[in-house]
């Protein structure tokens, strides 16, 4: 090209550039916005107040944790530089890393941490357990504080660093001092992303911007442990409840990531070369048939055992998806990725015979009492499973009725301890993630303290005894043994009947990098090219 033309061209370009500038900049910042399709509505902005998944995802973006567990559920320091034990393991000393700041640029101080632990301990199950062991707190200096324990509590790091809800998120002291029975109104945390309150439309969209003052750890990511590096400038959530629209938006490139794709639509997305569909959450979704232990017929352990004989996990899981690779039966009370996973004691669940169930039911002396299944129709998988429950129960000879309702009605009805024909209930299907059932401390549904247990109120002092032993177990080997014994007992009492698990997938566009396996929807480390 002749020099003159080149120069002319350059000056022409220079003339045009200011006009292009805006578009180019807009394109540049658009390239660094991660657009996520979220199925669930973000209503509450307080992860201690509610365990709802969207709020949990919000929590992980805006807040940070003192400790965090890795993919083997081993706790590592996160906000903490490290920890030490003193006084015969009765004092837990935590030192915060340098330079940690909240989004309002205030430094993170031990007072914030102490108040946050107390607020978390007021609501969360594992937190409440932890608080029973805690005698008090002591601030040593700007970055160091001590947790004084009544007796050694080796589970403390696992509690502080756990990945299932409610996590022990660190908030500014003023937020943490808000009554745990009320929601916090501010959105200031010390996590990798700042919440953009002015752009929030509850139920429609939410947005975050990278927090420039965030100091990530240097280690690579490993589940929720490791460096939580914010690799994009903005994150935008759009709430698209219609699965066809969500898929179309992903395919068209209007969105980058779908956090909970409808499993039946996966083949369509897999066929698209621009989309990656993969299991990101190694723990999957675990389905359970919760039983009411206070009313006939399931107040009779023999009837419960008969039911377990009739349940064929494959039947339930196949009702939800056609793709066999997504179906993972689980004959255990722990998740497949839990260190306590085993099939000990699970023989009753492997019987899978309607005839044997019928016989066992007769032997138990079942008198035709009405079984009421609370069927929530909003979630198609749960709705499908509820219908399989009805079908299975009918075939084994139970007098069963499936009552369809919406979630709010079910939430109220399941608090009833009355007979099933007077506004009570017999069973319902529910779903949890693997990290919710990883060990006896977090596992709500393994509690068998009667009135203090979850809906269904299983009452088995032996199970409670074994749970207590696990909590106090001094060595890993003993922990494993106690957990196994608890499972064997659980298969006798049947607080609920495990229905197996489905692989949890995510779908995203090919141009995203850094998507790593994690039991929660973690959006750090992910970048767009």
Kindly state the tokens that stand for 148. 């004084």
CB closer to other proteins out of 10 and 409 = 409
Task: Supply the minimum distance, in Å, between the C-beta of residue 282 and other proteins.
Answer: 23
Residue 182 burial (C-beta neighbours within 10 Å; 0-12, 13-18, 19+): exposed
Q: Which two tokens stand for residue 516?
A: 């790593």
Question: Looking at 91-195, which runs of residues are DSSP E strands?
Answer: 91-96, 134-139, 144-149, 169-170, 193-195
- The residues near 381 (Cβ < 8 Å, ≥ 6 apart) are 263, 287, 320, 431, 502
Residues 6+ apart with CB under 8 A from 513: 526, 527, 528, 529
Query: Measured from the CB of residue 60, what is the shortest distance to other proteins in angstroms?
Result: 17
**Of 80 and 176, which CB lies nearer to other proteins in the complex structure?**
176
What length does the chain have? 529
| Least distance from other proteins to the Cβ atom of residue 337, Å | 22
Residue closer to other proteins, measured from CB, 387 or 399: 387
Query: Nearer Cβ to other proteins, position 105 or 185?
Result: 185
Min dist. Cβ of residue 454 to other proteins (A): 8
Distance from C-alpha of 78 to C-alpha of 66, rounded to nearest angstrom: 5
Minimum Å gap between C-beta 437 and other proteins is 13
Which phi and psi angles does 317 have, rounded to 5°?
-70, -35
* 3-state secondary structure (DSSP) of residue 232: coil
CB nearer other proteins, residue 44 or residue 89 = 44
Closest to other proteins by CB, 87 vs 378, is 378
Pairing verdict, β 64-65 and 169-170: antiparallel
Six-digit token string for 371: 């079984």
Choice between 91 and 444, CB closer to other proteins: 444
- How far are the Cα atoms of 74, 235, 252, 283 from residue 338, in angstroms, in the given order? 11, 31, 38, 9
> Dihedral, CA atoms, 432, 437, 443, 448, nearest 10 degrees?
90
Measured from the CB of residue 259, what is the shortest distance to other proteins in angstroms?
A: 15
**CB-based burial label for 425 (10 Å; 0-12, 13-18, 19+):** buried
What minimum distance in Å lies between the beta carbon of 417 and other proteins?
10
Please identify, using beta-carbon distances, which residue of 81 and 390 lies nearer to other proteins: 390
Nearer to other proteins, 74 or 403 (CB): 403
The least CB distance from residue 30 to other proteins, in Å, is: 14
Q: Which residue has the tokens 């409808």?
A: 262
Contacts of 203 (CB under 8 A, 6+ apart): 41, 42, 43, 239
Residue number, 225 or 291, with CB nearest to other proteins: 291
Beta strands 80-86 and 91-96, pairing class: antiparallel
CB of 315 to other proteins, least distance (A): 6
Q: Reduced to 3 states, what is the DSSP secondary structure of residue 358?
A: helix
Dist CA 50 CA 285 (whole Å): 19
User: Residue 318 CB, nearest distance to other proteins (Å)?
Assistant: 4
Angle at the Cα of 277 from the Cα atoms of 274 and 278, rounded to 5 degrees: 140
| CA of residue 237 relative to chain centroid, distance | 18
337, 279 Cβ separation under 8 angstroms: no
Instruction: Report the residue number, 44 or 95, with the smaller CB distance to other proteins.
Output: 44
Q: How far is the CB of 343 from other proteins (least distance, A)?
A: 23
Q: How far is 505 from 326, CA to CA, in rounded Å?
A: 9
Smallest separation, CB 250 to other proteins (Å): 9
What is the DSSP code (8-state) at residue 181? T
8-state DSSP, 55: H
Shortest Cβ 347–other proteins spacing (Å)? 24
Would you say 451 and 415 are in contact if contact means Cβ atoms under 8 Å apart? no
- Joined together, the tokens standing for residue 135 give 């005698």
State which residue, 175 or 249, has the beta carbon closest to other proteins.
249
Instruction: Using alpha carbons, select from 164, 198, 53 the residue that is nearest to residue 434.
Output: 164
Q: Which is nearer to other proteins, 254 or 363 (CB)?
A: 254
């Amino acid at each position: 090209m002749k020099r003159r033309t080149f120069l002319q061209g350059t000056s022409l370009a220079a003339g045009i550039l200011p006009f292009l500038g805006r578009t180019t900049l807009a394109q540049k910042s658009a390239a660094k916005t991660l657009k996520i399709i979220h199925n669930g509505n973000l209503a509450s902005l307080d992860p201690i107040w509610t365990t709802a998944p969207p709020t949990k995802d919000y929590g992980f973006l805006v807040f940070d944790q003192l400790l965090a567990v890795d993919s083997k559920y081993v706790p590592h320091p996160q906000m903490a530089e490290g920890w030490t034990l003193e006084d015969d393991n009765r004092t837990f000393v935590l030192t915060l890393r340098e330079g940690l700041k909240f989004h309002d640029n205030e430094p993170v101080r031990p007072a914030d941490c102490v108040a946050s632990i107390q607020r978390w301990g007021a609501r969360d199950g594992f937190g409440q357990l932890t608080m029973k062991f805690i005698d008090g707190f002591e601030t040593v200096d700007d970055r160091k504080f001590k947790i004084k324990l009544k007796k050694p509590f080796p589970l403390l790091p696992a509690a502080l660093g756990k990945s299932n809800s409610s996590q022990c998120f660190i908030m500014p002291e003023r937020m943490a001092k808000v009554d745990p029975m009320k929601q916090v109104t501010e959105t200031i945390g010390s996590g990798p992303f700042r919440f953009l309150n002015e752009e929030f439309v509850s139920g429609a969209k939410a947005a975050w911007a990278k927090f420039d003052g965030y100091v990530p750890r240097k280690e690579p990511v490993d589940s929720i442990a490791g460096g939580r590096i914010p690799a994009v400038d903005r994150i935008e959530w759009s709430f698209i409840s219609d699965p066809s629209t969500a898929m179309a938006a992903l395919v068209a490139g209007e969105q980058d990531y779908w956090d909970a794709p409808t499993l039946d639509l996966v083949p369509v997305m897999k066929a698209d070369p621009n989309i990656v569909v993969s299991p990101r959450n190694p723990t999957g979704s675990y389905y359970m048939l919760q039983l009411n232990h206070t009313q006939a017929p399931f107040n009779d352990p023999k009837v419960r055992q008969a039911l377990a004989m009739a349940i064929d996990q494959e039947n339930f899981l196949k009702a939800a998806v056609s793709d066999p690779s997504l179906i993972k039966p689980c004959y255990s009370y722990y998740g497949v990725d839990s260190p306590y996973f085993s099939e000990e004691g699970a023989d009753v669940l492997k019987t899978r015979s309607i005839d044997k169930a019928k016989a066992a039911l007769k032997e138990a002396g079942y008198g035709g009492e009405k079984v009421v299944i609370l069927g929530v129709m909003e979630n198609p998988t749960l709705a499908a499973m509820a219908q399989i429950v009805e079908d299975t129960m009918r075939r084994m000879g139970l007098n069963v009725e499936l009552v369809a309702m919406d979630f709010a009605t079910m939430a109220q009805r399941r608090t009833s301890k009355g007979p099933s024909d007077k506004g009570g209930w017999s069973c319902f299907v529910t779903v949890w993630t693997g990290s919710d059932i990883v060990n006896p401390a977090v596992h709500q549904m393994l509690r068998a303290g009667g009135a203090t247990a979850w809906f269904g109120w299983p009452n088995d002092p032996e199970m409670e005894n074994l749970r207590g032993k696990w909590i106090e177990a001094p060595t890993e080997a003993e922990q494993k043994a106690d957990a196994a014994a608890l499972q064997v007992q659980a298969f006798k009492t049947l607080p609920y009947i495990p229905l197996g698990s489905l692989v949890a997938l995510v779908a995203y566009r090919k141009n995203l990098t850094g998507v790593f396996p994690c039991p929660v929807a973690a959006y750090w480390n992910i970048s767009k090219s």
